[in-house]
Amino acid sequence: MLRRFCSYYRYYKGLFALDMAAALISSLLSLLSPAIVRHILSSSLPERLFVEIVWFLVAIIVIYLIQAGATYIRIRWGHYLGVWMENRMRSELFSHLQCLSFSYFDKNKTGAIMSRITNDLFNIAEVAHHCPEDFLISIATITGAYAFMFTFSWPLALVSIIPLPIMLVYGIVFNHRLKERNRAIRRTIAEVNVEAENSIQGIREVKSYSREKMQESRFEETNKRLKTSREKMYKTMAQYQTGISFMRDFYYFMTIAGGIILIAFGFTEIYDLVTFLLYVSVVLPPIDRLINFTEQFTQGMASFERFTEIMDIQPEIEDKEGAIPLVVKEGTIDFSDVSFSYESDEGQIIIDHLSLHIPGGSKAALVGESGAGKSTIVSLLGRFYERESGSITIDGVDIDSVMQKSLHEAIGFVQQNVFLFDATIRENLRYGKTDASDEEMWEALRNANLADFVASLPDGLDTEVGERGTRLSGGQKQRLSIARIFLKNPKILIFDEATSSLDTESEKLIQDAFDKLAKGRTSIVIAHRLSTVKDSDIIFVIDKGKVKEKGTHQELLDKQGLYYRLYSLKD
């Protein structure tokens, strides 16, 4: 895992080397000033070598200036290193997610995936920058400082080193506890946000059912848990900071007390004590770095492991070797003995040895009870899921043998739950054709019976539709999605229960737009309202994943079978 993480540094070798060099220079220069001060106190000052003292003081200033330059490079370009690695990983992760099959997203929550893209990668960036740098600075500074200290006075060095291991262990233990408390707070904040978001988004339901007090009670319960979590965190913080503060003071005390005793017995000089106190102030910040390093490294590696978990998932559906572009001429669709079941349904068969034939350029309808498998059939046609057996062909070409991109470009989906991006009408339309001109977009809007509405808006095509199209009505969103399909200009259309939740006027406008769109194309309509499919060339009645009946509207009514019963009940 660590080797795989370090492999990302190869893309930024120069920047990594610059950061490490700046860190090493900064840490080594911090060791020189106390040594120079010792020389001044032990030699230059007693002998009154004032010119030499001035030059030494100038040298200290130069050291500080160089150290400041190295620190600037380390902070700026070191953070750049972390950000660039984070950016590269995020791009890789996002691209990989685009390649994964629907089944992955069926099994994983959106929030968990978003956490990988944001929080986990931020943790990785912090590790990428801070951990190598902090480790190098800490080891170089502590080792170098005590090398000088043992050279100047090994007895005093032995005395002063005693508190360091205690401080390090105490800091690591309580820093870990503090991080755990902070994680608990973040989890509780997420719960508070969920409660608040549910109440705000569902404010109409809350008020219509007079459930304000119930929502307040639920929110207050979560809010109290947040208060308790914060109280525990501040208690741990007090223990941590108080303990570390005491140990810092104890570190100074051991150095001062040890120095006084050794001076009294003639084992060291007063200038050594002054030098050691300066070195103590040099050593303390690296101790803090090492304390933070252990927790940050553990957290960062856990985040990197979650990142690699997704990166190592292989798409369930990939283009086969030698896949060819799909060229649709007639648009004839054939399902032959197709079976399929979702992994989440524990082997329950959704499509059971289904066969159907849809002639090119015809309008076919799939009808049946909810859960019969209608939407699954069109998902299999788009190869969003891999069938378990049988074959699906378009113009006699098995969809397994063609490139997925060309297959998806050949099919246009209009679904009940239209997804619009939080962008302008123009940007949403160009999802159908990226280089569409304004003239083409207005033509598509006219065909979708939406041009007059868009023209009436102050910003026209540049009107923001809001998150998931919240500024548009259900019918307007459907017509915008149809306009998008007009621009895409696919050979095959799928109309998946797109009018089932709309009012009669909106349904009529959308049906009219769909009829325009369907001309000269193979179209498949899935509908609850059977009156909307009466003019279909062929209707397939789906029941438990099989074709129960097929025929025209009148033929199926004459049979007085399942279709007749559904039509009688619903229409």
Mean pLDDT of 38-50: 81
CB of 40 within 8 A of CB of 271?
Answer: no
Burial class of 266 by CB neighbour count within 10 A (0 to 12, 13 to 18, 19+): exposed
Average pLDDT, the chain: 87
Q: Choose the weakest-confidence range: 158-167, 258-267, 451-460, 501-510.
A: 501-510
In whole angstroms, give the CA distance from residue 358 to residue 538.
Answer: 8
Report the pLDDT value the prediction gives residue 347, as an integer from 0 to 100.
63
Report the pLDDT value the prediction gives residue 68, as an integer from 0 to 100.
94
**Ramachandran sector of residue 483 (left: φ over 0; alpha: ψ -120 to 50; beta: rest):** alpha
> Shortest CA distance to 157 belongs to which of 241, 247, 66, 272?
272
The helix or strand, by DSSP H or E, that contains position 358, with its residue range, turns out to be strand 351-358
Report the pLDDT value the prediction gives residue 345, as an integer from 0 to 100.
60
Is the predicted pLDDT of residue 368 greater than 70, yes or no? Answer: yes
Per-residue pLDDT of 47-71, as tens digits, reads 777 888 889 899 999 999 999 999 9
**318 to 35, 107, 108: CA distances (angstroms):** 65, 19, 20
Is the predicted pLDDT of residue 481 greater than 90, yes or no? Answer: no
pLDDT band for position 492 (50/70/90)? very high
Per-residue pLDDT of 494-552, as tens digits, reads 988 655 555 666 677 777 777 777 788 899 999 877 877 888 899 999 998 999 999 99
Two structure tokens written together for 509:
């406008």
Query: In Å, how far from its chain's centre is CA 552?
Result: 48
Burial class of 18 by CB neighbour count within 10 A (0 to 12, 13 to 18, 19+): middle
Q: Choose the weakest-confidence range: 84-93, 283-292, 512-521.
A: 512-521
CB of 484 within 8 A of CB of 428?
Answer: yes
Is the predicted pLDDT of residue 374 greater than 60, yes or no? Answer: yes
Report the pLDDT value the prediction gives residue 528, as an integer from 0 to 100.
75
- Pairing verdict, β 411-415 and 363-367: unpaired
Report the pLDDT value the prediction gives residue 24, as an integer from 0 to 100.
93
Scored b (16 or more CB within 10 A) or e, 36-55 reads: bbbbbbbebeeeeeeeebee
In whole angstroms, give the CA distance from residue 325 to residue 315.
Answer: 20
Two structure tokens written together for 351:
């499509």
Two structure tokens written together for 233:
């965190």
- Pairing verdict, β 538-543 and 522-526: unpaired
DSSP characters over 185-221: HHHHHHHHHHHHHHHHHTHHHHHHTT-HHHHHHHHHH
CB of 479 within 8 A of CB of 449?
Answer: yes
- 3-state DSSP assignment of residue 363: strand
pTM to 2 decimal places: 0.74
Two structure tokens written together for 564:
């007749």
Per-residue pLDDT of 296-311, as tens digits, reads 887 788 888 888 888 9
Is the predicted pLDDT of residue 201 greater than 80, yes or no? Answer: no
> Shortest CA distance to 35 belongs to which of 76, 70, 63, 74?
63
Q: Choose the weakest-confidence range: 26-30, 195-199, 443-447, 480-484.
A: 195-199
Helix axes 121-152, 13-29, angle to 10 degrees: 30
Is the predicted pLDDT of residue 346 greater than 70, yes or no? Answer: no
pLDDT band for position 364 (50/70/90)? very high
Mean pLDDT of 364-389: 90
Percent of the chain with pLDDT over 70: 97
> Shortest CA distance to 411 belongs to which of 297, 522, 531?
522
Return the percent helix, strand and coil in the chain, to nearest 5. Answer: 70, 10, 20
